[in-house]
Homo-oligomer: A and B are copies of this chain.
């Protein structure tokens, strides 16, 4: 793990890093409280489709998690997103999706195939990032939480199912299409967000995914509005949820 920059503002240290990994390098960012060592809970944040590790919604949530809860927060570019290269296979699937959308075809199966491909890459990547980040003095090997909406949920489900270090997760804005088997293996406490008028995720698919999780403690929070309109009070709720389960 190699840090490429470090800045600080309003009590939050932001470090850009590159985490070397068997199959390549993962660009990421780590937010921690200024000038404090010692073990603390680590929240992993998975960005949405077409976004990246420093998308405004990620940065805002990460900074509040650090300032209000003293957590460390890490985000990485998902495969084929942000600063990461696309493979020929990525390009083929993205091209096919655009083509189907343009011609009124059904892009959903291609999107599902694309997401399955990305999840196969991102699960071991997230595990490598946890390995590396938890070796740092100012993070340590504390409990891990995962936060991810939309693509971040899609890639989070198989990761959480595979990774016993994740103790709690906030997921949402996604349906049950891609990873129902992984969802059925998740037993950690969950907060699951649904946008009641989501133009991209059918309501029934969201409810089906919530149904599938095996967690004894899981809460569905549904709010009116479209895919990108999650109300800010849900961030307050997420922070309290992580504090309850990770502190």
7 closest A-B pairs by CB: A220-B222, A219-B223, A221-B221, A219-B221, A218-B224, A219-B222, A220-B221
A210 at the interface (CB under 8 A from B): yes
Interface centre among A194, A210, A233 (most CB of B within 10 A): A233
B-binding residues in A (CB < 8 A): 194, 196, 210-211, 216-224, 231, 233, 236-237, 240, 244
A203 to B137, CA, bound (A): 48
Query: Secondary structure at chain A's binding surface: helix, strand, loop or mixed?
Result: mixed
**Contact A223–B218 (Cβ < 8 Å):** yes
Q: How far is the CB of A204 from chain B (nearest CB, A)?
A: 10
A216 to B244, CA, bound (A): 29
Apart from A196-B211, A233-B244, list 6 A-B contacts with CB within 8 A: A194-B220, A217-B224, A218-B223, A220-B222, A236-B240, A237-B237
**Contact A222–B224 (Cβ < 8 Å):** no
A231 to B244, CA, bound (A): 14
**Contact B233–A210 (Cβ < 8 Å):** no
**Contact B216–A224 (Cβ < 8 Å):** yes
Q: How far is the CB of A176 from chain B (nearest CB, A)?
A: 15
A236 to B233, CA, bound (A): 14
Interface centre among A218, A222, A231 (most CB of B within 10 A): A222
Sample 12 A-B pairs with CB under 8 A, ordered by A number: A196-B210, A196-B211, A196-B220, A210-B222, A218-B224, A219-B221, A220-B220, A220-B221, A220-B222, A220-B223, A221-B221, A222-B222
